[in-house]
């Protein structure tokens, strides 16, 4: 495993190279008591690969918008100055919490192939539970339909899943719900999509 790239910390977590802006705070947090000219511009981000929630400082003169994709990996960054810390779901601003489902859905749709592969490769966790059942609204009957259909031919897209599996209208929304659940419940025993 890689180290998380939060400057000054070493951890056995996976690196994010890109993240999406959830909220931009040009003068930092409202409860910051320092004079406005001494505050640093901050943003709250969600990672593209492992959905890591991060607080970053933004380079002066940059004004990222919600849903902007920014580079946070090693080396020269154009928008992000420094990764300050990892955040929990509770640390997010109300605006960031409101944007989170839309930003995650955008990430899921932009990486459709990756998430369709989950439907093609998900497996049993225990003798009584399957990874597919961790998605909201998927019970045993739907799980077995997915397994039977993927044996015939791997799913190629979200549209293909919708056509072949009755009861699933928006596979991407099921994935988004699960990702948000994992972010809200970091102690959950089974994590499928988050770091």
User: Does 133 have pLDDT greater than 70?
Assistant: yes
pLDDT in tens, 137-172: 999 999 999 999 999 999 999 999 999 999 899 999
pTM confidence score = 0.89
Q: What is the DSSP string of the chain?
A: -PPP--TT---S----SEEEEEEEETT--TT--S-GGG---EEEEEETTT--EEEEEE-TT--PPTT-EEE-SSS--SSEEEEEEE--GGGS-HHHHHHHHHHHHHHHHHTHHHHHHHHHH--BSSSS-BGGGGSTT--HHHHHHHHHHHHHS---SHHHHHHHSTT-S-HHHHHHHHHHHHHH-TT-S--SS--
All domains in the chain, ordered by first residue: 18-88 (2.40.50.140), 111-184 (1.10.150.280)
How large is the average pLDDT for residues 126-136? Answer: 94
pLDDT tens-place string over residues 6-52 = 444 434 557 899 999 999 999 999 888 888 888 899 999 999 999 99
């Amino acid at each position: 495993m890689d180290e998380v790239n939060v400057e000054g910390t070493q951890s056995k977590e996976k690196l994010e190279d890109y993240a999406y802006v959830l909220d931009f705070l040009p003068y930092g947090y409202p409860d910051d008591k320092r004079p406005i000219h001494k505050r640093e511009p901050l943003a709250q981000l969600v990672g593209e690969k492992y959905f890591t929630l991060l607080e970053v400082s933004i380079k002066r003169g940059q004004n990222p918008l919600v849903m902007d994709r920014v580079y946070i990996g090693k080396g020269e960054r154009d928008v992000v100055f420094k990764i300050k810390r990892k955040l929990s779901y509770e640390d997010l601003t109300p605006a960031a919490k409101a944007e989170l489902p839309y930003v995650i859905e955008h990430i899921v749709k932009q990486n459709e192939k990756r998430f369709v592969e989950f439907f093609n490769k998900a497996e049993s966790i225990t003798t009584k539970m399957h990874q597919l059942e961790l998605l909201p609204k998927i019970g045993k009957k739907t799980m077995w339909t997915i397994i039977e259909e993927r044996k015939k031919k791997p799913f190629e897209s979200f549209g293909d899943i919708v056509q072949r599996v009755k009861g699933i209208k928006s596979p991407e929304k099921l994935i988004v719900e699960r990702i948000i659940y994992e972010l809200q419940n970091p102690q959950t025993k089974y994590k499928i999509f988050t770091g």
